[in-house]
Structure 1
Amino acid sequence: MPSIIFQTSGKTIEVAQDANLLRTSIRYEGSVPYKCGGGICGTCRVRIVDGHENLSKIMKKEVDRLGNEKINQGFRLACQTFITSGDITVAWDEEDMERLNKIAQRRINAANN
């Protein structure tokens, strides 16, 4: 079974193939930050440290929210990312959280109007 190493929180979790990264984090307390869980807000942005080849293809919502520059730097949205085969390591920046939370709230409010 593949493992997810949540580098920022220091947790490692074994998962079934095709497990969603955000749902796994929520269920097993991996601590990936999130607000909406649906690709709208962007707060579940994580950097894939290792194991890019073991992930699902990049989704349109990820490109829309992150942009090609961040995608090329190894960032993904945890809510849109699935583990397809082997181990991965992810990290996120705690200092970005306040800024991302403000952006997320604006996006969620706009989507609901």
Structure 2
Amino acid sequence: MPNIHFVNSNKALEVPEDSNILRMSLRYDGDLPNRCGGGICGTCVFKTEEGAEYLDNVKIQERRKLGEEWLEKGYRLGCQTFVTNGDITISWDDEVTDQVKKRKPDKLKQTVTTGK
């Protein structure tokens, strides 16, 4: 089973594979800040310090709220992110959280495909 190490609270949690980061933090007192749980507010933004390869793919809500700039720096939203099959280490920063919370979600371009 993978471990999530929460740097800020100095806690390490052994969790089942494919566990949601925020849910595990809430269940086992990992102390990741949170508010809405739906990828809208940005409060649960964290930085992946180690183990990014053990996180699932970036969701649309993350791409909208964080934008490419924050994603490229290793930031994800705890409510949208799942740990797959390896250990990860995450941290969070109040200043980054404040910036992300104020950020207006990007409007993603919709692609139209035809059935040809």
Q: Give TM class, smaller chain.
A: 0.7 to 0.9
**TM-score, length-normalised on structure 2?**
0.83
Identity rate of aligned residues, in percent? 47
Bigger radius of gyration: 2
**C-alpha offsets along residues 25-53 of structure 1, whole Å, 9 cap, x if unaligned?**
00100000011001111110000000010
Aligned to 2:53: 53
Q: Counterparts of 1:27 and 1:100 in 2: how far apart (Å)?
A: 27
**TM-score, length-normalised on structure 1?**
0.85
For these two proteins, the number of residue pairs brought into alignment is: 105
Deviation at 1:94, TM superposition (A): 3.2
Counterpart residue type for residue 40 of structure 2: I
Counterpart residue type for residue 2 of structure 1: P
Moved over 6 A (4+): none
- What is the root-mean-square deviation of aligned Cα atoms in Å? 2.0
5+ unaligned residues in a row in structure 1: which ranges?
Answer: 108-113
1:20-59 alignment runs, 5 A limit? 20-59=20-59
Structure 2 SS opposite 1:46: strand
**1:65 paired to 2:65:** yes
